[in-house]
Amino acid sequence: MNFVADFAGILLGGLAAGTVLFIVSVGLSVTMGLMGFVNLAHGAFAMFGGYIIVLAMNRAHFGFAVSLVLGFIATAALSVVLERTLYRRLYRGGELDQVLFTIGLIFIFIATLIIVVGPESQTLQLPPALAGQLNLGLLTYRTYSIFLIVIGLLIALGIWLTFERTRIGGQIRATVDNRRMAESLGIDVDRLFTITFAFGSGMAGLGGGLGAEFLGLDPQYPLKYLVYFLIVVSVGGLGSVIGVYYASLILGVLDFVLTLYLPKGGTIFIYILTILILLARPQGLLGRKEL
Amino acid sequence: MSVAAPPAGAAAPATGIESPAARLLMRRHRLRWWETLPWLAGIAFYFAAPDYLGFGCDLLVTILFALSLDLALGYAGIITLGHAAFFGVGAYTVGMLASYNIWTEPITSLLLAATTAGAVGFLSGLVLLRTTGLTLLMLTLCTMSLLYEAANMGAAYTGGFDGLPSLPIGPVFGVFEFNPLYADTQYLFALGVLLVCFVFVRTLVYSPFGQSLTGIRENVLRMHAIGSPVRHRLIVCYTISAALAGIAGALSAQTTAFVNLAVLGLDRAATVLIVLILGGYGRLYGAFIGAVVYLALEHFLAQLYPTAWQLGLGLLLVLISLFARNGILGLGDTLWRRFRPRRGTS
């Protein structure tokens, strides 16, 4: 009985962390699938949104839900501005320029946050309704983790339905599969990209705030988790929401277990697994796009 | 070069040795007078700035590391985010050999480091170079992270974050001792190693092999079509590049007498990428210019205003990627073309 409870506890903790990874990375997967743009600065948007959310709660004393909405909108707005003015100049550039540009953006975000807010890490003050423990019958577990897992599941379901059932979802899938053909059919890929970029960045911002509990929130955030976001996206498959969901949950649980039992260098298994998966399936687990 | 059947047509360009194109092609490999300048500057630095020789060593190591990356990324177009993997393997080879007093002779240690790093480059290249684009980027990144975690796991042997301090390094040629307090021998040794490696790389990129690498970068399909063994060439290039990076790492361990986990970190891999692109990739001297500019700025700004330095670096990267696609040297080229007095070409 005790063993089962332990096991369930580890699983839930890992799933919650994985859910955070999913909320942050799902936008990256779709925008990379659409434009093939290597956006290493995606984590910077997550950090920006996270800061907006945490600061709105801690300093302006907004409610939790209001702060989340605010974080989403602010990040989405910022990303649209950057996309229209800077990112779009590099769509036809090489990967190298994109890598360099987005690394530069990360540095700018980090330095600006240190100057404006300060180098210390921020903590999320949970609303009382989410701060306690929840009795699940078999075991009691932190309400917030359960809340996150449920939210993540709903988001994954929502995005998946949007992809499969709506017009814009169909357009996105068509463009990921074959951009030229989609353009020939009259799909406005430029506009589509701006919308998904804004939405994906907004989601990242949301994830940055929701996950402050698990990933922490300090100015080094975009560099610290860069590799994890990229692993999730490339293992899940570009443009595949369900693939990214699975990959995030697997990575979350693995990371949770490994840091618990093998704190020194245990994450080596994550890299080995990633390399093996990518060698066997370069397009990712559920990716359809040929790379 | 004899042309069997000169192309027919009214507007056929002038063929033969006298044509501008032919002259340009033949001039490409020749040593120019200004190619001695970096080395003269290197020697001048030794006499002019004896207090900064430690910084000088750092500079020379960075140049060599960026040069090795240039071979893979600038010439062959292999986009890698994990080049520090080989730097780290080289550094740990020398570091562990010295730390456990197995082997301390510096030149043979460098060769050993090159061999180990080259072997890692060959083995990883064998599997990684089948992929391209994002997958390749991820695989190089993961390989580096894997080595990092492996070194972290074996902290009992590698020293982990604390590293292996005060490595005993034998005298060069059995005569010139490394002085831990004053880096004059280290500087000249590093300069010599860089010169040898540079001559090697220069010869390599101007050889038919180097030309085929440029071809692969520019148009891989066409290279396949003309029967070039693309994957084979890429693996050879990656192995050589890894070995050179290993020498750079080994040199870093020898000149600082220290090695820790940072040699395998993402920071180092990103820095060398920035250095190379800042200077201009796919051109031999980009590594030199980029390293000098980056390290000089970092050395004098970063200690005083670390945050402002990061902000400035970020802005610089964004500007370069948007407006100066080929770094400082590329920018220089553009300006030179624009303001050079026009000579009649026809």
pLDDT single digits (tens) B274-313: 999 888 888 889 999 999 999 988 887 777 788 888 888 8
Helix (H) or strand (E) holding A140: strand A140-142
**Would you call A108 and B311 a contact, using CB atoms and an 8 Å cutoff?**
yes
User: Which residues of A are less than 8 Å from B311 in CB distance?
Assistant: 107-108, 111-112, 115
To test the contact with chain A by mutation, choose from B138, B152, B278 the residue with the greatest count of A C-beta atoms within 10 A, namely B138
A203 is a domain residue? yes
pLDDT category, B4, cuts 50, 70, 90?
A: very low
Percent of chain A whose predicted confidence (pLDDT) is above 90 = 39
Q: Scanning every residue of chain A, which has its alpha carbon at the shortest distance from the alpha carbon of B74?
A: A96
Give the torsion sign (CA, B147, B152, B153, B158).
Answer: positive
Q: Is residue B212 part of a domain?
A: yes
Q: Is A286 part of any domain?
A: no
Q: What is the number of CB-based contacts under 8 A between chain A and chain B?
A: 138
B342: pLDDT confidence band, cut at 50, 70 and 90? Answer: low
Number of domains chain B contains: 1
Would you say residue B30 lies in a domain?
no
Confidence at residue B154, expressed as pLDDT on a 0 to 100 scale: 84
pLDDT band at A1 (very low <50, low <70, confident <90, very high): low
**Per-residue pLDDT, B6:** 44
CB-nearest partner of A268 from B79, B149, B308: B149
Determine the structural domain holding residue A147 and report its residue range.
2-280
Within-domain flag for B29: no
Confidence of residue B10 (pLDDT cuts 50, 70, 90): very low
- The per-residue pLDDT of chain A, averaged, comes to 88
User: B101-116: b or e for each residue (b if 16 or more CB lie within 10 Å)?
Assistant: eeebbbeebbebbbeb
In a domain, B186, yes or no: yes
**Looking at the domain assignment, is residue B23 inside a domain?**
no
CATH number of the domain that residue A254 is part of: 1.10.3470
Taking an 8 Å cut-off on Cβ atoms, the answer to whether B142 and A279 are in contact is: no
- Model confidence band, residue A214 (pLDDT cutoffs 50, 70, 90): confident
Contacts of B313 in chain A (CB under 8 A): 104, 107
Q: Is B2 part of a structural domain of the chain?
A: no
Task: Provide mean pLDDT across the span A234-250.
Answer: 89
The number of distinct structural domains making up chain A is: 1
B150 — contact with chain A (CB < 8 Å)? yes
Full residue range of the structural domain in which residue B94 is found? 35-339
Name every chain B residue with its beta carbon within 8 A of the beta carbon of A114: 307, 310
In a domain, B18, yes or no: no
Residue that wins the pLDDT comparison between B184 and A290: B184
B182 lies in a domain?
A: yes
For residue range B129-183, what is the model confidence (pLDDT) as tens digits? 888 888 888 899 999 999 998 998 888 888 878 888 878 887 888 778 787 777 7
Confidence of residue B5 (pLDDT cuts 50, 70, 90): very low
CA B241, B112, B42, B34 torsion-angle sign? negative
Per the domain annotation, does A291 fall within a domain? no
Which has the minimum average pLDDT: A70-74, A162-166, A223-227, B13-17? B13-17
- How far is it, in rounded angstroms, from Cα B204 to Cα B80? 20
In a domain, A25, yes or no: yes
CB B235 within 8 A of CB B129: yes
Q: Tell which residue, A153, A169, A146, has the closest CA to residue A242.
A: A153
Is A290 a member of any domain? no
State the CATH number of the domain containing residue B76: 1.10.3470
Provide the 3-class DSSP secondary structure of residue B259.
strand
